[in-house]
Homo-oligomer: A and B are copies of this chain.
Amino acid sequence: MLFERAAVIGTGMIGGSFALAAKRNELVRAVVGVARTQRTLSEARKLGVADETTSDAAKAVARADLVYLAAPVRSIRSLLRDIADAVPRGCIITDAGSAKREIVAAASDALPSHCAFIGGHPMAGSEEAGVAAARADLFEGCSYFLTPDAQTDPQALETLLELVRGLGAEPLVIDAQAHDEFLAATSHLPHVVAAALCATLAPLGDDLARFSGTGLRDTTRIALGPDEVWRDILLSNADNLCAALEDFRVRLDEFESALKAGDAERISTLLRLAREARGRVSGDSSIAGRRPDKNVGPPEHG
């Protein structure tokens, strides 16, 4: 056991999956689940996600040695303020937010020095949401980012690395700024692109079904994700995301001008380069098979 008592604040798909995985892998002895609605809390108890539940975050962290914040990014900022006075000495606090700079900054503002905060981001999940979608194996084989800074207690980092490995995930240590730049391109841009694609198709109405194949379904699936969660992610990383959008427009222009010119050779080249880049995206199965990462520092920018 790494922790005796974990407060999981936000028992949705990610928080619920963390609780199930942490208990199954004997990383955490007991879980206190925190959610806004009684319905979610009773479902969390029924599914074995939480041993106890409460809607009071401060109460939940009072006797915890681990706090796992799995709420929408902007709710995490206010939750940090809510729990600040109640966090016990030596408690380790982490989160699962998909954009890290704002959260890391808010944590260092809000939290007392007698506890340790390290930002986290498991590259896991799907378009599903809610505790019913929680799975004990959700993190297996996925990249799991940790974003310590100069002030981070090395011992707390070692403990969290052990926790992440215990979940079956691949820990990657990176600074929050670099994380947000990479994720703007590999996650937040694709989400906006998929959503804009769906908006473009909206006028087709009910004809959409008969005119859609697997390609369209795959390309737009992430647009089924929960609005509140993605609104917060996109806003929290808006500067990097807008920069990525500019890059994307340039690539789109290349295709459009080749199409307007009827330049077959150019289009072949653009399609080939895109296909080769797609080949460098991790396999369509989990990346668990890959040589486990040696916890290197921030990857260089490409």
Contact = CB atoms under 8 A, between A and B. Distances in A.
Interface size grouping (class) on chain A:
35 or more
Given A207-B302, A245-B256, A227 B271 contact: yes
A182 to B, nearest CB: 5
Given A201-B185, A290-B209, A299-B207, A216 B281 contact: yes
Contacts of A186: 201, 204, 208, 211-213, 216
A202 B281 contact: no
A105 interface: no
A251 interface: yes
Nearest to A210: B143
A271 B231 contact: yes
Secondary structure type dominating chain A contacts: helix
Nearest to A260: B242
Interface in A191-231: 191-225, 227-228, 230-231
Given A189-B197, A206-B280, A248-B200, A222 B217 contact: no
Interface of A: 123-127, 142-143, 170, 172, 182-183, 185-187, 189-225, 227-228, 230-231, 234-235, 238, 241-242, 244-245, 247-252, 254-256, 259-260, 262, 264, 267-268, 270-282, 284, 287, 290, 293, 299-302
